[in-house]
């Protein structure tokens, strides 16, 4: 089907009609919006709705408050009952809380070291990233040669 000039006029008329309707609706919305009073913030009016406010998480406990003394906050088998001032503490260690951040101990490997062992272990290893990750940083001891490690009572691992 070919589009002739008559089709162009119809398409253009429909497009203009759609735009006019859209602009008309937009102007009505603008007019209604300009007549609305500004929003006002008010205090909670429906005290029946339970409200739990979490203020902080410290040392494996959730610290917060509620707006109703009958609210119970439950996590696993732990139940928090609000105090008289509506505050609560909820233990969450069972969720995998790790505890306070621990200082990471680092130890620089001496340049001369070719082997590493644990003070408490009986084996020694060639120094590489994998062997260093297996051993506690605080317990690592270093050797320049296999003979030094054997003399210290360590046994080489079979490869």
| H helix and E strand count, the chain | 3, 9
In Å, how far are 25, 27, 100, 106 from 103, measured between CA atoms? 63, 63, 10, 9
pLDDT value at residue 144: 92
C-alpha span between 40 and 135 (Å, rounded): 63
pLDDT band at residue 112 under the 50/70/90 scheme: very high
pLDDT band at residue 148 under the 50/70/90 scheme: very high
Domain boundaries, given as residue ranges, for the chain: 1-35, 52-95, 115-156
What is the torsional sign of CA 6, 12, 13, 15?
positive
C-alpha span between 149 and 140 (Å, rounded): 12
Of 158, 155, 151, the closest CA to residue 118 belongs to: 155
């Amino acid at each position: 089907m070919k589009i002739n000039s008559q089709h162009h006029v119809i398409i253009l008329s429909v497009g203009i009609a759609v735009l006019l309707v859209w602009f008309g609706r937009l102007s009505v919305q603008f007019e209604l919006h300009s007549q609305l009073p500004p929003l006002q913030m008010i205090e909670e009016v429906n005290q029946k709705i339970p409200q739990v406010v979490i203020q902080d998480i410290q040392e494996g406990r959730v610290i917060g408050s509620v707006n109703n003394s009958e609210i119970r906050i439950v996590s696993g088998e732990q139940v928090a009952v609000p105090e008289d001032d509506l505050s609560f503490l909820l233990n969450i260690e069972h969720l995998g809380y790790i505890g306070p951040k621990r200082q990471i101990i680092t130890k620089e490997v001496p340049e001369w070291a070719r082997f590493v062992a644990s003070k408490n272990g009986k084996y020694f290893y060639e120094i590489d990233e994998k062997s260093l990750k297996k051993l506690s940083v605080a317990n690592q001891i270093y050797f320049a040669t296999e003979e030094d490690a054997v003399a210290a009572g360590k046994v080489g691992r079979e490869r």
